[in-house]
């Protein structure tokens, strides 16, 4: 199970990184399906999420100890290099011996490293679609990542909109494909 999880995590990071490399210079200010973020802000958000992982997972630090550490612009003058560094360090932290069995202290309470990795993998998958849409790139997600993300999000999908971080779920027609169902759970129309 841990090998499969780490494989999905690496796959999600790779796919997001491919979309980051697809961004043309004139697209960084383009809107995305995440209405509060343009392309640069979306990439900044996902990159910052990766920056939290090493200190939380590998160092055992708490969210409170790191408060404000990764706010603001984490991309600097070279967003691609910033993404590459952050995603490599994040994956290495999760792949370290015992990391997925370790308890991580998050904003909503303690969680196993494996649960945190699963959550961020699914988040990265959805944001890959957001980024693809924002830059007009191919937005078809790999079936393996879609199925993984559905299984991850399904147990708490009903509460996502109430968190204020997601739009209301979207109704999907009978027989909708897995990607459409995944996107609908997180308030996106595929």
- For the segment 61-80, what is each residue's pLDDT rounded down to a tens digit? 998 999 888 999 999 999 99
**pLDDT of res. 106:** 92
The pair of structure tokens assigned to 57 is: 């997972």
| pTM assigned to the model | 0.94
Determine if residue 156 is left, alpha or beta; phi over 0 gives left, psi from -120 to 50 gives alpha, anything else beta: alpha
| Predicted local confidence at residue 1, as pLDDT | 63
Report the C-alpha dihedral over residues 119, 123, 126, 127, rounded to 10 degrees.
-170
pLDDT at 85: 98
User: Which pLDDT score is estimated for 150?
Assistant: 96
With contact defined as beta carbons under 8 Å apart, do 30 and 38 qualify?
Answer: yes
Taking residue 123's Cβ as centre, other Cβ atoms within 10 Å add up to 18
Residues, the chain = 190
With beta carbons less than 8 A apart as the criterion, state whether 117 and 5 touch. yes
pLDDT number for residue 68: 84
> Which segments of the chain have a pLDDT < 50?
none
The answer to whether 130 and 34 are in contact (CB under 8 A) is: yes
**Distances in whole angstroms, Cα of residue 4 to Cα of each of 101, 117, 178:** 14, 12, 20
- Give the residue from 178, 181, 187 showing the smallest Cα distance to 160: 187
pLDDT at 4: 95
């Amino acid at each position: 199970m841990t090998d499969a999880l780490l494989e999905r995590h690496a796959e999600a990071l790779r796919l997001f990184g491919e979309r980051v490399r697809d961004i043309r210079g004139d697209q960084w200010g383009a809107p995305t399906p995440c209405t509060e973020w343009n392309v640069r802000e979306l990439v900044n958000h996902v990159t910052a999420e990766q920056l939290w992982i090493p200190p939380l997972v590998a160092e055992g630090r708490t969210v409170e100890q790191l408060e404000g550490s990764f706010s603001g612009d984490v991309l600097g003058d070279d967003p691609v290099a910033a993404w590459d560094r952050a995603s490599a360090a994040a994956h290495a932290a999760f792949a370290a011996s015992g990391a997925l069995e370790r308890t991580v202290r998050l904003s909503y309470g303690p969680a196993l490293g494996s649960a945190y990795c699963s959550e961020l993998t699914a988040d990265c998958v959805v944001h890959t679609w957001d980024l693809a849409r924002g830059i007009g790139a191919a937005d078809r997600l790999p079936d393996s990542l879609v199925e993984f993300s559905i299984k991850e999000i399904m147990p708490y999908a009903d509460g996502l909109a109430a968190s204020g971080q997601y739009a209301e779920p979207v109704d999907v027609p009978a027989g909708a494909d897995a990607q459409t169902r995944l996107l609908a759970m997180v308030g996106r129309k595929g």
